[in-house]
């Protein structure tokens, strides 16, 4: 994939460099000749069905609170420039840049696969997280309704789950989230990175506006769902000054818990983010990257389990102290009660033993 000569309208990444597993790398450059036709300024999103064999993804990361997750989509049209899922697109032979935002894959059999996996006699119930990689409520979900079908399966099984999004579309599923939340089986999170509409438009071009995300928090809370806010990523020198304001407005909207994650720049993301930063915030670029490296032991990123989510050093310590003070002041919980697993019950299916007993009466 060639690097773009000019940015595309409505997309986060400024380039589309080849994935790291590709044998051939193509780099576009300006040779001084005017093209016969100007390059397009708008690129359509392409959706491809993925024939997944399983829907539950397992992990053993010691700094993640869940060991299984569901991601109905690969790639994400929201286009958040800092998204830690971008490097995974290289496994598909695609670029973590613009391809990640425009070449999307969806799992049409997600609900059927989930039903089968939860019905297995050997299955042990533990909370599942939805959207740990890419957003389960990106624009395509409005028509495809894959996430909705997954929630319906989880409700039939009384299976605990958490879900996170940057989309106001989550309000559509307030009914399920409220019923399961009140039973101790579900927890929803809305990620709010900034209250600055201009910054959000540039950094998260197709995600909901900050105001719509706060509206989603309010709608879920009013419906009776258990809802929290995630301030992420915290980018020192860019949005860190908004930490208290985001938590305050989320609390006012009905959030009961909060969390945060500092900026992570693994693999290709470090180059994509730097490229975006220099194009969109050139006066701050050097300062922001200096502060980022101060949280990462002098590097752009350190994947060490003990500190990759929160960082280390004085800058990270100050963010941590401010977060704790704000949570205490606002009454936001950071340590949450575990979701219930004792209510898990696979529903009876046609042909089960109970049906045969009923037929004999």
Helices (H) then strands (E): counts for the chain: 12, 10
Of 47-56, 86-95, 146-155, 256-265, which range is least confident? Answer: 86-95
Query: What pLDDT shows up at residue 34?
Result: 52
Tell me the per-residue pLDDT of 85-143, one tens digit each, with 9 for 90 and over. 988 888 788 888 888 898 999 999 999 999 999 999 999 999 999 998 899 999 999 99
Contacts of 210 (CB under 8 A, 6+ apart): 192, 194, 195, 196, 197, 200
Domain limits, the chain: 48-340
pLDDT band at 301 (very low <50, low <70, confident <90, very high): confident
Residue (of 112, 230, 129, 221) closest to 177 by Cα position = 221
Length of the chain: 361
Does residue 68 have a cis bond before it (omega within 30 degrees)? no
CA 34-40-44 angle, 5° bins = 160
Q: Is beta strand 103-106 parallel, antiparallel or unpaired with respect to 73-74?
A: antiparallel
Contacts of 156 (CB under 8 A, 6+ apart): 347
Share of the chain above pLDDT 90, in %: 66
Cβ atoms of 250 and 195 within 8 Å: the answer is: no
Tokens read off for 146: 């894959």
* Dihedral Cα 119, 125, 130, 132, nearest 10 deg: -130
Tell me the per-residue pLDDT of 39-69, one tens digit each, with 9 for 90 and over. 555 678 899 999 999 999 988 777 677 889 9
Query: What pLDDT shows up at residue 335?
Result: 75
Tell me the per-residue pLDDT of 341-353, one tens digit each, with 9 for 90 and over. 999 999 987 766 5
HEC readout, 156-224: HHCCCEEEEECCHHHHHHHHHHHHHHHCCCEEEEEECCCCCHHHHHHHCCCCCCHHHHHHHHHHHHHHC
Query: What pLDDT shows up at residue 1?
Result: 40
pTM, two decimals, is: 0.86
- The domain defined by 48-340 folds into pyruvate-formate lyase- activating enzyme (3.80.30)
Tokens read off for 245: 């304001």
Query: What pLDDT shows up at residue 2?
Result: 41
The distance from CA 311 to its chain's CA centroid, rounded to whole angstroms, is 19
End-to-end CA distance of the chain: 66
| pLDDT of residue 356 exceeding 60 | no
CA 83-88-92 angle, 5° bins = 135
pLDDT band at 14 (very low <50, low <70, confident <90, very high): low
Cβ atoms of 148 and 174 within 8 Å: the answer is: no
* Average pLDDT estimate for 215-227: 98
Cβ atoms of 155 and 177 within 8 Å: the answer is: no
Query: What pLDDT shows up at residue 126?
Result: 96
| pLDDT of residue 313 exceeding 80 | yes
| pLDDT of residue 330 exceeding 90 | yes
Query: What pLDDT shows up at residue 153?
Result: 98
Query: What pLDDT shows up at residue 352?
Result: 63
């Amino acid at each position: 994939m060639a690097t773009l000569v000019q940015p595309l309208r409505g997309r986060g990444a400024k380039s589309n460099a080849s994935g790291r597993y590709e044998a051939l790398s193509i780099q576009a450059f300006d040779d001084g000749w005017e093209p016969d036709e100007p390059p397009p300024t708008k690129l359509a999103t392409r959706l491809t069905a993925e024939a997944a064999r399983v829907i539950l993804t397992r992990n053993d990361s010691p700094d993640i609170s869940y060991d299984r997750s569901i991601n109905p989509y690969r790639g994400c049209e929201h286009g958040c420039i800092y998204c830690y899922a971008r490097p995974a697109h290289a496994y598909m032979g695609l670029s973590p840049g613009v391809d990640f935002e425009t070449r999307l894959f969806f799992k049409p059999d997600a609900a059927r696969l989930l039903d089968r996996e939860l019905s297995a006699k050997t299955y042990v119930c533990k909370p599942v997280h939805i959207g740990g990689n890419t957003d389960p409520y990106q624009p395509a979900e409005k028509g495809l309704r894959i996430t909705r079908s997954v929630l319906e399966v989880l409700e039939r099984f009384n299976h605990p789950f958490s879900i996170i999004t940057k989309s106001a579309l989550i309000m559509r599923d307030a009914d399920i989230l409220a019923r399961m939340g009140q039973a101790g089986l579900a927890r929803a999170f809305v990620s709010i990175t900034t209250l600055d509409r201009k910054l959000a438009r540039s950094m998260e071009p197709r995600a909901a506006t900050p105001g719509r995300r706060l509206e989603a928090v309010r709608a879920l809370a009013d419906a009776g769902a258990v809802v929290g806010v995630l301030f992420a990523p915290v980018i020192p020198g860019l949005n860190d000054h908004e930490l208290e304001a985001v938590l305050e407005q989320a609390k006012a909207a009905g959030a009961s818990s909060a969390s945060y994650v500092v900026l992570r720049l693994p693999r290709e993301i470090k180059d994509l983010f730097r490229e975006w930063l220099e194009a969109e915030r050139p006066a701050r670029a050097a300062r922001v990257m200096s502060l980022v490296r101060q949280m990462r032991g002098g590097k752009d990123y350190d994947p060490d389990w003990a500190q990759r989510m929160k960082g280390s050093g004085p800058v990270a310590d100050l963010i941590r102290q401010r977060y704790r003070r704000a949570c205490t002041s606002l009454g936001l919980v950071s340590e949450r009660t575990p979701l219930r697993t004792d209510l898990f019950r696979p529903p009876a299916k046609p042909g089960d033993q109970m049906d045969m007993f009923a037929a004999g009466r």
